[in-house]
Amino acid sequence: MRRYSALEAQVRALTARVAALEDRLEIARLMAAYGPAADSGSARATAALWAEDGRYDAGIVTLEGAPAIAEMIATDPHQRFIATGAAHIVSPPHIELHGDRATATCYQLVLLRNADTDDYRTWRVSANRWEWARTPTGWRITARYNRLLDGSDAARALFRTAFEEGNQA
């Protein structure tokens, strides 16, 4: 019976490890949905990544709540960008998972098509921090911060947060 209980404990520990792997992959999967949702003008799918009261602090403007994020996608300048050809590309995230919360650090590139030269201008490259929470309907963004990598300290400070919080890189 002791041997049996030991096996039960092993399975319980393994189940927790599998759940943590699933959480990490799910957060990465949702982050990879942002660009395709935004660049197809899917306002509802984009906003659905956020918690209802989630925030997107884009640096130049802060959007409060999922409806404000849907509105941003549905209006100019975003609509004008995607009508010309735009790509919001989120780089592979560095995820720190803490139970029902997680943070992700990465870059976002915004590329805009230039029809005259038949190529793309790399208009924006930003430091990104995404804060996630587990909700009854799955992982949702509670806050996202975007800081332009323009040499000012704001973007570097955002990136440094990832290394000050964790015990290791």
Looking at 59-67, 68-76, 157-165, which segment touches its own copies (CB under 8 A)?
A: 157-165
**137: helix, strand or coil:** coil
The answer to whether 168 contacts its own copies (rule: CB under 8 A) is yes
Sign of the dihedral through C-alpha 16, 93, 162, 110: negative
Q: Which of residues 115-154 bind its own copies (CB under 8 A)?
A: 115, 118-125, 127, 137-138, 148-151
| Smallest gap from residue 126 Cβ to its own copies (A) | 9
Indicate which single residue of 68, 74, 89, 143 sits in contact with its own copies (rule: CB under 8 A).
89
- State the greatest distance between any 2 C-alpha atoms of the chain, in Å, as a whole number: 76
| Residues with Cβ within 8 Å of residue 90, at least 6 apart in sequence | 31, 32, 34, 35, 106, 107, 108, 128
Looking at 54-62, 71-79, 160-168, which segment touches its own copies (CB under 8 A)?
A: 160-168
Indicate which single residue of 109, 133, 142, 143 sits in contact with its own copies (rule: CB under 8 A).
109
Count of Cβ atoms closer than 10 Å to residue 165 Cβ = 11
